[in-house]
């Protein structure tokens, strides 16, 4: 394992069984599965912001949950700081989990409405038995100061609904950082936020990244926002990575037809740049019986015969060391 | 310019709350012309959806229109009785919301929705003929006709929004109010929907009031743009000049804080502060506490929305 990698994912799969009624089970013997994540490999390097982007149903959120071990993989391995998470006991996993924190898209949903902001920030200190009482309060106050949640004393006593949007985002960050994690999984951290709050949170995430020496996994459907924060990015479609590379490589020279469509679809806040590129037809198909071969082939404008027969693997693009694509037609 | 379809004059909407009175829309003046797409943008809580609901007289209690006029086809909508208003809604003014499931009857097939709408609008059309028209319409929306007898829950979000547009077309509505129509859609589905909407708008000369927080969607589709802040209309202009040279400091800040996938070297700018608490709004211009150009006058007197020589409208003392 390369020393610079904080996370290594190898052939990760998560299949969810489809719930069926009793009668249906009698009639059809075969069990069906949602192939939410279906063979994914990538590394997250220490100190980088790694983006995982795709539409709903692409498997990006499930991948994040697998890394946090909020759900168990069907197959494959996740190495965190060179340790295979699958091999850990529950107690060992508890300790590793302190080093990974998650922030969710809606700060309202992730802050307990009946808990004072300060108590919410320090809650995990108590849960993990690291500090309580005055000690906890002092550590919370120090963290509030570092994330700019000031004046500390009055804000400590406030409930989430009494905070402004920006203050709530800071509180969520403070709560994640109080455990001094190595990795923060940010799952659609700004989807709900308005434009001015969004810009603020991105700035806050970048500032705190330097100060706390963090690594981020940034999960998003918003490619325009990802541009401002990610160093590298992987594009997912129906449980598989279709393209991966540095932000520059993927955005300025997208190779996979799906990536090209996705980037072209993003509305640009400039009427002079109105989109003219046609969109692929149809929508992302069901992950229960994904199309054979390349999963994008039924919608792909350049698909050839091989695309419906063989699944392409994620391969480096000639002359581009770090830029990979899973497409038969990309050389 | 073409004839006005809708004229909002000095419209104010209040929400009495336990904490105090919230003026969600404050003395708004706005005209929508036939055949245009008017984008109404602003952040959450700026009053843009309140305005849309007020036009339809569908404000959620305790929301109340406390002043002004909404003139549609020569009549003040605020003077119509409930039955007249009900007739108008749906028949001449159509709505498309973020979640189309709220507008589609879950027990009615898509075809039934369309057939019923066609026959309400044209009672002389036979059931059979209406079904034929419905099939043509559904095909034009890019939905395979074998799906026309599906129930709404069997369709994807994108298809449901297409059905909503189809119903507006079947009615031949004079005005379509679309409130965050693409917000719950994935980006490729959103782009497909915007393509459809643009094609139909041009083909049928539709009049659309597009309410959204998504600046990119407005840039794609709108002919004119109105910007709202804290219940006030602060700027109104055609789409190109507005994006090219925003006048109001709020519009400037808003546009600079929007992520743009195209630009290679830029960074997002952050607007200081946050929108005001509308129970205790600041005196004078409501944007002055966040405005880097604020002068003495801005703190004392509220600037009205005024027409400039260029034909653009803005509410800012800098352009006195």
d(CA B25, CA B15): 10
> φ and ψ at A84, to 5 degrees?
-75, 115
**B191 with A270: Cβ contact below 8 A:** no
* Chosen from A54, A59, A193, A196 to mutate, greatest number of chain B CBs within 10 A: A196
Name, in order, each residue with C-beta under 8 angstroms of B309's C-beta and a sequence gap of 6 or more: none
Q: Which residue in chain B is spatially nearest to A280 when comparing CA positions?
A: B188
Contact between residue A23 and residue A192 where contact means Cβ atoms under 8 Å apart: no
Neighbour-count burial for A43-62, b at 16+ CB within 10 Å, e otherwise: bbeeebbbbbbbbebbbbbb
Q: Where are the beta strands (DSSP E) in B43-142?
A: 64-72, 75-76, 93-96
> In Å, how far is B274's CA from the nearest CA of chain A?
8
Asked if A221 is an interface residue toward chain B (Cβ–Cβ < 8 A), one would say yes
Name, in order, each residue with C-beta under 8 angstroms of B186's C-beta and a sequence gap of 6 or more: A55, A56, A221, A283, A284, B158
Q: Which residue in chain B is spatially nearest to A163 when comparing CA positions?
A: B274
**A267 with B264: Cβ contact below 8 A:** no
Structure token pair of residue A174: 């403070």
> What pLDDT is stored for residue A229 in this prediction?
92
- Cβ of B115: how many Cβ atoms within 10 Å? 24
Name, in order, each residue with C-beta under 8 angstroms of A27's C-beta and a sequence gap of 6 or more: none
d(CA B20, CA B25): 15
Best CATH choice for the domain B4-92+174-193+203-267 from the list 3.50.50.60, 3.40.50.300, 3.40.120.10, 2.40.110.10: 3.40.50.300
Contact between residue B234 and residue B250 where contact means Cβ atoms under 8 Å apart: yes
User: Cα dist. A318→A17, A245, A250, A253, A331 in Å?
Assistant: 39, 13, 14, 13, 6
**A198 with B267: Cβ contact below 8 A:** no
d(CA A75, CA A48): 26
**β partners of residue A33:** A17
DSSP states along A271-290? GGG---SPPPSS----SSSP
Asked if B279 is an interface residue toward chain A (Cβ–Cβ < 8 A), one would say no
Helix axes B127-140, B157-171, angle to 10 degrees: 130
Q: Which residue in chain A is spatially nearest to B155 when comparing CA positions?
A: A283
d(CA B214, CA B224): 15
**B213 with A194: Cβ contact below 8 A:** yes
- Cβ of B258: how many Cβ atoms within 10 Å? 21
Contacts by residues B247-251 (CB-CB < 8 Å, ≥ 24 positions apart): B247/B308, B247/B312, B247/B314, B247/B316, B247/B318, B247/B319, B248/B287, B248/B314, B248/B315, B248/B316, B249/B287, B249/B291, B249/B292, B249/B293, B249/B316, B249/B318, B250/B287, B250/B290, B250/B291, B251/B227
Strand, helix or coil at B128? helix
Chain region(s) in chain A for CATH 3.40.50.300: 5-99+181-325
Residue A228: which of B186, B189, B267 has the nearest Cβ? Answer: B267
Contact between residue A191 and residue A151 where contact means Cβ atoms under 8 Å apart: no
Residues of A within 8 A of B268 (CB-CB) are 198-199, 202-203, 228
Structure token pair of residue A279: 């969109």
> In Å, how far is A194's CA from the nearest CA of chain B?
6
Q: What ipTM score was computed for the predicted complex, to two decimals? A: 0.89
Residue A267: which of B213, B220, B271 has the nearest Cβ? Answer: B220
**A221 with B186: Cβ contact below 8 A:** yes
Asked if A21 is an interface residue toward chain B (Cβ–Cβ < 8 A), one would say no
Of A58, A60, A61, A62, nearest to A285 by C-alpha is: A58
Q: Tens-digit pLDDT profile for chain B (320 aa)?
A: 689 999 999 999 999 999 899 999 999 999 999 999 999 999 888 999 999 999 999 999 999 999 999 999 889 999 999 999 988 887 899 988 888 777 889 999 999 999 998 888 888 999 999 999 999 999 888 888 889 999 999 998 888 999 998 988 888 899 999 999 998 888 999 999 999 999 999 999 999 999 999 999 999 999 999 999 999 999 999 999 999 999 999 999 999 888 899 876 667 788 877 888 899 999 999 999 999 999 999 999 999 999 998 889 999 999 98
Asked if A276 is an interface residue toward chain B (Cβ–Cβ < 8 A), one would say no
Structure token pair of residue B210: 């597009």
**A271 with B243: Cβ contact below 8 A:** yes
Of A267, A192, A263, A193, nearest to A233 by C-alpha is: A263
d(CA B169, CA B165): 6
Residues of A within 8 A of B258 (CB-CB) are 195, 269
Q: How many CA atoms lie within 13 A of B119 on its CB side?
A: 14
**B216 with A267: Cβ contact below 8 A:** yes
Asked if A116 is an interface residue toward chain B (Cβ–Cβ < 8 A), one would say no
Asked if A286 is an interface residue toward chain B (Cβ–Cβ < 8 A), one would say no
> What pLDDT is stored for residue A320 in this prediction?
86
d(CA B154, CA B137): 19
- The H or E element containing residue A81 is none
> φ and ψ at A14, to 5 degrees?
-140, 115
d(CA B211, CA B55): 13
**B219 with A199: Cβ contact below 8 A:** no
Q: Which residue in chain B is spatially nearest to A274 when comparing CA positions?
A: B220
Asked if A198 is an interface residue toward chain B (Cβ–Cβ < 8 A), one would say yes
> In Å, how far is B87's CA from the nearest CA of chain A?
36
Asked if B186 is an interface residue toward chain A (Cβ–Cβ < 8 A), one would say yes
Question: How many CB pairs lie under 8 A apart between chains A and B?
Answer: 118
Contact between residue B201 and residue B208 where contact means Cβ atoms under 8 Å apart: yes
> In Å, how far is A273's CA from the nearest CA of chain B?
8
> What pLDDT is stored for residue B275 in this prediction?
85
Longest Cα separation, chain A: 68
Asked if B19 is an interface residue toward chain A (Cβ–Cβ < 8 A), one would say no
**A222 with B239: Cβ contact below 8 A:** no
Residue A266: which of B158, B187, B264 has the nearest Cβ? Answer: B187
Q: Read off the pLDDT of residues B243-259 as tens digits, 9 standing for 90 and up.
A: 999 999 999 999 988 88
- Which B residues, 22 through 81, put their C-beta within 8 Å of a C-beta on chain A? 43-44
pTM of the predicted model as reported, rounded to 2 decimal places = 0.91
Q: Tens-digit pLDDT profile for chain A (331 aa)?
A: 566 999 999 999 999 998 777 777 777 767 789 999 999 999 999 999 999 999 988 999 999 999 998 899 999 999 999 999 988 998 898 889 889 999 876 667 778 899 999 999 999 999 988 998 999 999 999 999 999 998 999 999 999 989 887 788 899 999 999 999 999 999 876 655 677 677 778 888 999 999 999 999 999 999 998 999 999 999 999 999 999 999 999 999 999 999 999 999 999 999 999 998 889 988 888 888 899 999 999 999 999 999 999 999 999 998 888 999 999 999 7
> In Å, how far is B257's CA from the nearest CA of chain A?
6
Asked if B158 is an interface residue toward chain A (Cβ–Cβ < 8 A), one would say yes
Residue A56: which of B186, B219, B271 has the nearest Cβ? Answer: B186
CATH 3.60.150.10 corresponds to the domain A5-99+181-325: no
Q: Where are the beta strands (DSSP E) in A143-214?
A: 183-187
d(CA B72, CA B143): 33
- Any idea which residue has 């002004």 for tokens? B68
Strand, helix or coil at B221? helix
Length of chain A measured in residues: 331
Q: How many CA atoms lie within 13 A of A99 on its CB side?
A: 14
Tell me, rounded to whole angstroms, the distance of Cα B171 from its chain centroid.
19
Structure token pair of residue B119: 């026959």
Residue B188: which of A195, A262, A269 has the nearest Cβ? Answer: A262
Chain region(s) in chain B for CATH 3.40.50.300: 4-92+174-193+203-267
Structure token pair of residue B257: 């804080």
Q: Read off the pLDDT of residues A147-164 as tens digits, 9 standing for 90 and up.
A: 999 899 999 999 998 988
User: Cα dist. B272→A169, B290, B300, B318 in Å?
Assistant: 15, 6, 21, 19
């Amino acid at each position: 394992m390369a020393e610079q990698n904080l996370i290594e994912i190898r052939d990760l799969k998560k299949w969810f069984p489809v719930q069926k009624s009793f009668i249906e089970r009698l009639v059809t013997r075969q069990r069906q599965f949602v192939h939410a994540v279906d063979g994914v490999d990538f590394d997250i390097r220490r100190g980088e912001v790694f983006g995982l982007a795709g539409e709903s149903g692409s498997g990006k959120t499930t991948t994040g949950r697998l890394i946090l071990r909020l759900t168990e993989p069907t197959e494959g391995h996740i190495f965190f700081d060179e340790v295979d998470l699958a091999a850990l006991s529950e107690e060992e996993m508890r300790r590793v989990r302190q080093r990974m924190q998650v922030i969710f898209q809606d700060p309202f949903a992730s802050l307990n409405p009946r808990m004072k902001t300060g108590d919410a920030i320090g809650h995990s200190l108590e849960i993990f038995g690291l500090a309580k009482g005055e000690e906890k309060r002092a550590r919370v106050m120090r963290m509030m100061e570092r994330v700019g949640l000031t004046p500390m004393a009055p804000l400590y006593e406030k409930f989430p609904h009494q905070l402004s949007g920006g203050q709530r985002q800071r509180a969520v960050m403070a709560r994640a950082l109080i455990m001094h994690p190595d990795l923060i999984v940010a799952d659609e951290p700004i989807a709900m936020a308005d434009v001015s709050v969004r810009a603020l949170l991105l700035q806050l995430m970048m500032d705190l990244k330097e100060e706390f020496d963090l690594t981020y996994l940034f999960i998003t459907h918003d490619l325009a926002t990802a541009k401002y924060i990610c160093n590298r990015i992987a594009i997912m479609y129906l449980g598989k990575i279709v393209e991966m590379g540095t932000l520059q490589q993927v955005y300025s020279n997208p190779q996979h037809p799906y990536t090209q469509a996705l980037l072209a679809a993003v509305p640009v806040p400039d009427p002079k740049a109105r989109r003219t590129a046609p969109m692929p037809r149809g929508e992302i198909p069901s992950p229960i019986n994904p199309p054979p071969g390349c999963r994008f082939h039924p919608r792909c404008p350049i698909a050839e015969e091989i695309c419906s027969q063989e699944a392409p693997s994620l391969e480096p693009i000639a002359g581009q060391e770090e830029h990979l694509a899973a497409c038969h037609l990309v050389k | 310019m073409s004839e006005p379809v809708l004229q909002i004059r000095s419209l104010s909407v209040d929400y009495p709350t336990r904490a105090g009175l919230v003026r969600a829309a404050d003395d708004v003046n706005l005209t929508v012309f036939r055949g245009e797409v008017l984008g109404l943008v602003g952040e959450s809580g700026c009053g843009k959806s309140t305005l849309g609901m007020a036009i339809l007289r569908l404000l959620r209690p305790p929301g109340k229109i406390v002043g002004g006029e909404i003139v549609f086809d020569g009549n003040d909508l605020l003077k119509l009785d409930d039955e007249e208003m009900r007739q108008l809604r749906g028949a001449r003014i159509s709505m498309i919301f973020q979640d189309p499931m709220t507008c589609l009857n879950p027990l009615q097939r898509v075809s039934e929705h369309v057939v019923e709408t066609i026959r309400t609008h044209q009672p002389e059309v036979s059931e059979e003929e209406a079904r034929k028209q419905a099939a043509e319409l559904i095909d034009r929306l890019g939905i395979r006709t074998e799906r026309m007898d599906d129930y709404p829950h069997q369709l994807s979000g994108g298809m449901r929004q297409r059905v909503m547009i189809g119903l507006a077309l079947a009615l031949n509505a004079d005005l379509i109010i679309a409130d965050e129509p693409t917000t719950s859609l994935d980006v490729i589905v959103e782009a497909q929907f915007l393509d459809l909407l643009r094609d139909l708008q041009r083909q049928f000369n539709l009049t659309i009031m597009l309410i959204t927080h998504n600046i990119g969607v407005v840039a794609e589709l709108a002919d004119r743009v109105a910007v709202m802040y804290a219940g006030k209309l602060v700027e109104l202009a055609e789409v190109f000049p507005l994006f090219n040279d925003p006048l109001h400091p709020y519009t400037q800040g808003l546009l600079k804080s929007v992520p743009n996938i195209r630009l290679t070297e830029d960074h997002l700018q952050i607007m200081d502060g946050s929108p005001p608490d509308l129970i205790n709004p600041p005196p004078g211009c409501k944007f002055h506490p966040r405005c880097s150009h604020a002068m003495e006058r801005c703190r004392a007197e509220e600037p009205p929305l005024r027409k400039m020589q260029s034909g653009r409208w803005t509410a800012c003392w800098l352009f006195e």
